[in-house]
Amino acid sequence: MRAAIIDGKGIAAQMRADNVTEARELAEQGWQPRLVSISVGDTAAAELYVRNQQKTAESSGVEFEARNYPETISMEQLVGVLHGLNADPRVNGIIIQRPLPAHIPVKTLQKAVHPLKDVEGMHPSSIGNIVYNDLALGPCTAVAAVEILKTLPLKLEGLDVTVIGHSEIVGKPIAFLLMGLGATVTVCHHMTRSVAMHSRAADAVFVAVGKPGLVTGDMLKPGAALIDIGINRVDGKTVGDADFDSCAEVAGWITPVPGGVGPVTVATLMKNAVLATRLQMAHYRAAFANTEA
């Protein structure tokens, strides 16, 4: 039997609907969720992402402002911009668009964003919190991939999972998130001797490497879930890291590319924006509470 195709767009639509309700409640209390997107220089590469983010924000009850700065802006000036946004209570989340000019390292900017406004989940403290099973404002792609697995009729406690790819913002956070849910996790990388040996033993496989066709059907256990996070361009088409046709003949569930993890990732970004707003509201109320009343 061919694998069931996981409807990432449907999952994302439900998340947006939930976000609208929460965003409306916050707005009624004077805390309208608002995101600011920061891009530098030629925005052609990031333009599609920004448009998708703005469209999703509008359908999620989140205000969205896109700012573009000239390529000549210095690192110090840009960090100053971020500090200003950190201090502005009207801004609840900050997104750093990639790519950036060579003289502006993205990690430096990510560290400059206040953790309470780190809706992308890229600040070292946000990623580090996952080790302690604190999932607030986690890395969007990793959180989205795990959320997709949670929609399947699989018991996560004791589930054997193989994660192919160990990047700091996707593979490693996925592993920690899954361990926090009780799964048994194996992480494979470029020095793993036999990736197929591990993936064939897994009830669920996550792949995020950036290599089209890396995972094939003969690398999967029959009936396993395959969450493909890869995004590659091949002959003018967007494909994942898995050979979809051969994998679909073996897997029980599979995410398409596009239309799988991508939409859920953007919806997770908006969910983080709403959560960040709620956290900031609580922070300001605690900081400025009238204790003498």
**Residue range 267-281: mean pLDDT, rounded:** 96
Structure token digits, residue 227: 């969450």
Q: Which H or E run includes 202?
A: none
pLDDT tens-place string over residues 15-68: 999 999 999 999 999 999 999 999 998 877 778 889 889 999 999 999 999 999
- Distance between CA atoms of residues 21 and 146, nearest Å: 23
- How far is the C-alpha of 228 from the C-alpha of 256, rounded, in Å? 7
Q: Which spans in 166-250 are helix H?
A: 171-180, 195-199, 244-248
| pLDDT tens, residue by residue, 230-243 | 999 999 999 999 99
Output the pTM of the full model: 0.93
